[in-house]
Structure 1
Amino acid sequence: MNLNDLLPELAVFAATVLVTFFVVKIFNLVVRGMFRNWVPAVRSHIQKLVSITIWAIGLIFAFQRLGLQLNFLLLILGLIGLGVLIALKDTLENIGAKYFSDVYVPFKVGDIIKVAGSTGKVIEINPITTVLLTKNEEVVSIPNSLFLREKMKNITPHVWREILVPITIDSKIDLPEFESKVMAACNKIKKYLDERFPPVLTVKGRNRRSVNLVLTLMVKDPDKKSEIIDEVNRKISEIEHKMIRRTRQE
């Protein structure tokens, strides 16, 4: 292959490397925004893992454009990737468990729980562990993955009455108006709710694109929880859809 034939391939190689560079930068910004409330060390590891993965894919594609055989390189990269997954197994397991515990495990900061022989008040839930404060003022750190394997008891008074409904809305939605409409929707199902504990809508976090909230309800009959959650989620979806449509029209 002469130089004239090689120049187009070199140009594609350089363009691929440049595109990969910008893609890495974009994904780093996305990761930084998504995990900005996480422990900095964990966020940094995730950014590095994403960057290495994108660079590996980009360079493989770039070198293939030059006609190079990359079977050995692919094998090495595969082994490195396997090694990284094994090294980060516990961390990734705990991070994944944190996601599922947010959705499916009925406890929050402030609750008193019992798990794996430890009992205490939940004072922190981070991506890796859940931290308890015992009656003896001892701090106990429970790996999040344990909650998917061990039986957990929430012994907080009246906890059986509580429903937590996580909500994520577009940041363009007017929050006070949204809260007002959600409270009005809750008022329509007040026959299922305990009048002593009015519904509470709490902001848990926000970024440029979305706002994360939690709606707390106290029910009269725990057997109605599933029915109430379905009804509340349906009403919230309707409210959000209407407000987004109106915002776009404006």
Structure 2
Amino acid sequence: MNLNDLILELAIFVAILLGTFLAAKIFSLVVRGVFRNWVPAVRSHFQRLVSITIWVIGLIFAFQQLGLRLDFLLLILGLIGIGVLIAVKDTLMNIGAKYFSDVYVPFKVGDIIKVAGSTGKVIEINPITTVLLTKNEELVSIPNSLFLKEKMRNITPHVWKEILVPITIGSGIDLPQFESEVLKACNKIRKYLDERFPPVLTVKSRNQRSVSLVLALMVKEPDKKNEIIDEINRKISEIEQKMARKT
């Protein structure tokens, strides 16, 4: 190998390292923004895991550029990766279960539930645990992964009637007008709803690009929930498209 080829390979090696550094920084910022509502300590660990993963991939490409054998390096990295996964297995299970429970497990903050021999009011749902307040004013911390394994009973009054419809709109849409249009749409399906409980649209979170909301409806007949959800989602989509064209 002549000097020019060596210089070129070293230059590419350095370029890959710089690209890896920039990619790790960018993805770390993305993770911090997307998961800004997570517990800071958990978010920090996740950012670190993403950065390490990017650096490992970058180093593999960089050393390949130098023509070095990577068998032993890949073996060491694989063993380290397995060790890390084993160490954080429970944490990852709880984080993953939290997002599955958001979709498939019918409870929210404020509900009264029974699970794993504990009964209480849900006062917090974080990425790792769900916290209950019992009648004796004791705090009970339930790992989120337990909700995918154990039978859970929601004993909140009228809970069987409730429908929660998640909505995400662009930050440029006029929120008061959007709320007014959504409530008008709900009025058109009022024959399916319990008149004692008017629809409620609340803001869950917001950032520079979007606003996350939740529409709460109380139905008369639980067997019509899917029909109602499909209809209200169709109306909300039409409202959002109409308002987005005006912005």
Structure 1 length-normalised TM? 0.96
SS of residue in 1 equivalent to 2:72? helix
Q: Which residue of 2 aligns with 1:224?
A: 224
* Worse-superposed segment, 172-181 or 55-64: 172-181
By how many angstroms is 1:209 displaced?
Answer: 2.1
Name the aligned partner's letter for residue 208 of structure 2: R
SS of residue in 2 equivalent to 1:233? helix
Q: What percentage of aligned pairs have identical amino acids? A: 83
By how many angstroms is 1:179 displaced?
Answer: 1.2
Structure 2: unaligned runs, 5 residues or longer: none
Aligned ranges for residues 156-235 of structure 1 at < 5 Å?
156-235=156-235
Equivalent-residue separation in structure 2 for 1:230 and 1:37 (angstroms):
29
By how many angstroms is 1:37 displaced?
Answer: 1.4
* Worse-superposed segment, 95-104 or 162-171: 162-171
Q: Which residue of 2 aligns with 1:86?
A: 86
Name the aligned partner's letter for residue 156 of structure 1: T
By how many angstroms is 1:152 displaced?
Answer: 0.6
Q: Which residue of 1 aligns with 2:108?
A: 108
Q: Which residue of 1 aligns with 2:126?
A: 126
Equivalent-residue separation in structure 1 for 2:239 and 2:74 (angstroms):
50
Q: Which residue of 2 aligns with 1:24?
A: 24
Task: Identify if the C-alpha distance between structure 1 residues 246 and 69 changes in structure 2 by more than 3 Å, giving closer, same or farther.
Answer: farther
SS of residue in 1 equivalent to 2:109? coil
**Is contact 1:33-1:207 (8 Å) kept?**
no
CA RMSD of aligned residues (A): 1.1
After superposition, the C-alpha distances for 1:51-110 in whole angstroms (9 at most, x for unaligned) are 000001011111111111111111111111111111111100000110011111111111
Equivalent-residue separation in structure 2 for 1:112 and 1:80 (angstroms):
42
After superposition, the C-alpha distances for 1:209-229 in whole angstroms (9 at most, x for unaligned) are 221111000111111111111
SS of residue in 1 equivalent to 2:232? helix
1:37 partnered with 2:21? no
Q: Which residue of 1 aligns with 2:152?
A: 152
Name the aligned partner's letter for residue 12 of structure 1: I
**Is contact 1:183-1:199 (8 Å) kept?**
yes
1:11 partnered with 2:24? no
By how many angstroms is 1:24 displaced?
Answer: 0.8
SS of residue in 2 equivalent to 1:21? helix
Aligned ranges for residues 66-81 of structure 1 at < 5 Å?
66-81=66-81
Name the aligned partner's letter for residue 244 of structure 1: A
Q: Which residue of 1 aligns with 2:243?
A: 243
* Worse-superposed segment, 28-37 or 123-132: 28-37
After superposition, the C-alpha distances for 1:181-215 in whole angstroms (9 at most, x for unaligned) are 21111111111011111111111111222211110
Query: Size of the alignment, in residue pairs?
Result: 247
By how many angstroms is 1:246 displaced?
Answer: 3.6
SS of residue in 2 equivalent to 1:150? coil
By how many angstroms is 1:237 displaced?
Answer: 2.0
**Is contact 1:130-1:142 (8 Å) kept?**
yes
Structure 2 length-normalised TM? 0.97
SS of residue in 2 equivalent to 1:230? helix
